[in-house]
Amino acid sequence: MAGGLGNDTPHLPTPAPIDAYGNGGFRFGGMSHRGSIICFPDGMWAWPVASIKDVNADTLAQAFARGETLDVFLIGAGSDPAFLPPALRAMFHDLSISVDVMTTGAAVRTYNVLLAENRRAGAGLIAVD
C-alpha cells in the first residue's frame, strides 16, 4: 500500500474505539501506539503523517482504495484546525465519501461515536503532544 504501509505492516486487524490520545500517540484495543494512525472498518495501521502538510494523495491512498467500504472519512489534523486542499476533497467526493477535517481530539470523539453506531467510517489521526 502507499505511504510505506504494506500488507505486512503490523496493525490491529479490527476497528477499535480510541481510549486516549496525546503524548505523541494513541491508546486503543488494549495497546498503545506512538505516532499517527489510520483507522478503517477492517483495522488500524500506523500512518506516516506527522502534520497536516504530510496529508496528500499518497498518504490517503488506503482511504481511496476503500472507497466502496467507507461513507465517512475524518482527518484529525493535530492541535489546530486545518483545511483539505480542493483536489483531495474532490477525490473523496468522486468516491462518494464524506470527508471532514478537524482537530485530532474532535476527530477521535467523532470516530468513536461513528464506530459505536456501526457506521462505515475511517479516520486518519495525527498524533498530538
Q: What is the pLDDT of residue 116?
A: 97
> Alpha-carbon distance 98 to 77, whole Å?
16
Which domains, ranges and CATH numbers included, belong to the chain?
A: 37-125 (3.40.1230.10)
pTM of the model: 0.91
Phi, psi of 112 (to 5 degrees): -60, -40
Taking 50 as the threshold, does the pLDDT of residue 33 lie above it?
Answer: yes
Convert the pLDDT of each residue in 75-92 to its tens digit.
Answer: 999 999 899 999 999 999
Grade residue 97 by pLDDT with cuts at 50, 70 and 90.
very high
